Amino acid sequence: MVQALAEARRFSARAARAVMDFVYPPVCPVSGEPVDVSGRLAPAAWAKLSFLTEPMCSCCGLPFEFDPGAGMECAACATDPPVVARSRAALVYDEASRRLILEFKHSARTDALGTFASWMAIAAGASATTADRILPIPLHPARLRQRRFNQSALLASALAERAARPFDPDSLERVRATPSQAGKSAAGRSRNVAGAFRVRPERADLIAGARVLLVDDVRTTGATLDAAARALRGAGASQVDAVTLLRVVRPRDITR
C-alpha cells in the first residue's frame, strides 16, 4: 500500500512537470537557454561546472592535487579531526555553480532539484545508501519565516527519495538565531554556530545509535556541519556524515 502510494505520488509529480513544461517551456537554470527537460543544464553551462572527484581527503573531501594513496587525510583533519566522520560535496563553488545556488536559494528555482539530488547521491556514495536517517541543516524559525523555505530541507528530501532512505526534517532544530557566516574567519564561524543546534528531546530515541547523513547547500569551512554533528553525536548518533551540493575550495586549501 505504501509503495503504491509512493508510485502514485511520483506519477502525479511527473504528470505535473509535463504539464508545466508544456505551458512554460523549460530553460537551463544557469544560461536561460531552452532545454528539453525541466532542470537540465545546457551543454555549455554543464561544461563549465567543476565536479569534485578523487583524489581527496578521506575525511573532509578536500581535493588533493596529487594522489597520496587510499585513505589519506588532509593535514587539517589529521591534526584536528572534525566531528563529521565523512564529508563530501558534488561541485566546487565557483562562478559557474554560483548561479545555480543563487537561483535555487533566492529565486526558489526548484526545477533542478532532481539533478542536484543525483549529483549529491554520487558524491555521498555509501553515506547516503546506508544512512538510517537523512537530515537537513535546519533554519531558525525566524529565518524560515523570512525565507519561506529551507533549501537544505528540499535537497535532503530529494536525496532521501533518490537513495530510498528516511527523510527526517524534524529531529534536529536550530535553537539560536545566528548572524550570517559571511566574512567570518574559520574560528569566527565556529564560534558563531557553537551551541546553535539540538536534537528535539521527543525524538532523541530516533537518533540514538543511528547513522545520520547531514545535508546542506554549501560548505565553506565545515563549521555549521560540525556544530550540527556535535548535537547529533551528543544525542547518541553512532556516526554523522555530510554531503553538500557545493563546496568552497580556495587554492591555498588544496593539499599538494
pLDDT tens-digit readout, 112-137: 899 999 999 999 999 999 999 999 99
Report DSSP state, residue 63.
B
Can you tell me the distance from the alpha carbon of 68 to that of 115, in angstroms, rounded to the nearest whole number? 31
Closest CA to 120 of 213, 47, 182, 41: 213
Can you tell me the distance from the alpha carbon of 162 to that of 164, in angstroms, rounded to the nearest whole number? 6
C-alpha distances (whole Å) from 181 to each of 22, 108, 163, 177 are 41, 21, 30, 12
Report DSSP state, residue 241.
E
- pTM confidence score: 0.85
For the four alpha carbons of 125, 129, 132 and 134, in that order, the dihedral sign comes to: positive
Closest CA to 100 of 250, 245, 251, 248: 245
**Which of 23-32, 120-129, 163-172, 200-209 has the least mean pLDDT?**
23-32
Can you tell me the distance from the alpha carbon of 256 to that of 254, in angstroms, rounded to the nearest whole number? 6
Q: Architecture of 51-253 per CATH?
A: 3-Layer(aba) Sandwich (3.40)
Instruction: Please report the pLDDT score of residue 252 as a whole number.
Output: 57
pLDDT at 18 over 70: no
φ/ψ region of 23 (left if φ > 0, alpha if ψ in -120 to 50, else beta) reads alpha
Mean pLDDT across the chain, nearest whole number? 86
- Are residues 242 and 213 in contact, defined by beta-carbon separation less than 8 angstroms? yes
pLDDT at 60 over 80: yes
Can you tell me the distance from the alpha carbon of 168 to that of 204, in angstroms, rounded to the nearest whole number? 12
Q: Where are the domains of the chain?
A: 1-48, 51-253
